[in-house]
Amino acid sequence: MSKVGIVILNYNDYETTYSMIKQIKNYKILDHIVIVDNNSTDLKYDKLKKLEKNNIKVVKTDENKGYAYGNNYGIKYLINNYKIDYIIISNPDIIVSENTIKKLKEDLDKNKNISIIAPVINQLGEKLRGWKLPSYTIELLSNVNYIHKFAEKRMLYTGEHYKNDISKVDVVSGCFFMARKTDFEKIKYFDEGTFLYYEENIIAKKLKDIGKNTYIDNTVNVTHNLSVSVNKNINSIRKYKILKDSQKYFQKKYYNLNIFKMFLLRCTYYISLIIAYFIYFINKIRNIIRH
């Protein structure tokens, strides 16, 4: 019988992680639960260690090298210490039922051609599913203030695409998905060249390059309390810089862009960053005036 392990990445967010463990600790469908503390600075690692019990293990990275590194640390721990077939990657700010996990496991059991399966994500009142890998043109447009919303829409599938129980997509959200261990090993897990963002696109590109498939199960869902950890620890301007650094890394490494195309990508990024700084300072001034 196939076995399931889950990796939950924690960074300065003990309360949210504790809440999730309280929710899932008795799920029989989960054979192993690994909490990875990504070298938090809140001095609550000892409290996390107290969550260890039966199938729950708490480990800690030596330094915070980002989302990909932290998750890989947990994945490798799972693979090296336990016999598992499927790996769940989950944010701590996820609400998921045991039946949802069971259904995703059944999908992988029945469909050997599926490498990654994910549920529908309930987030900020919307139902989020998969998206298409961005073309170079879409990436350029995504760097232009206000036009970026048009670019984002072009990456989405139509509602008709999700009429069946499961739907093939390019990319799924990294907040919660289940992966076939053998296929994840083939693509050498997450690419640790990014600190945050674009991990999903990179995983999708690597799977696509070896002819593997990603699906959404439209019959099950999870709730994502959006970016509790990220919003708590990174301000908006810094998040934007990290996002665009990851974008450049993705385009350069996985699409081998020439010098001219990389130059255009950087130009649109810097222009948008200047505008973002301007908006940020205007809002700060407005807040000062109001108070």
- C-alpha 86/C-alpha 228 separation (Å) is 26
Q: Please check the confidence at residue 229 and state whether its pLDDT lies above 70.
A: no
Please give the CATH superfamily to which domain 4-233 belongs: Spore Coat Polysaccharide Biosynthesis Protein SpsA; Chain A (3.90.550.10)
pTM above 0.85, yes or no: yes
What is the pLDDT averaged over residues 154-174?
Answer: 96
Query: What are the pLDDT digits (tens) for 104-125?
Result: 999 999 999 999 999 999 998 8
Query: What are the pLDDT digits (tens) for 29-75?
Result: 999 999 999 999 999 999 999 999 989 999 999 999 999 999 999 99
Confidence category of residue 234, pLDDT binned at 50, 70, 90: low
Domain ranges of the chain: 4-233, 236-290
At 272 the pLDDT is: 85
Q: What is the mean pLDDT of the chain?
A: 93
Query: What are the pLDDT digits (tens) for 197-217?
Result: 999 999 999 999 999 999 999
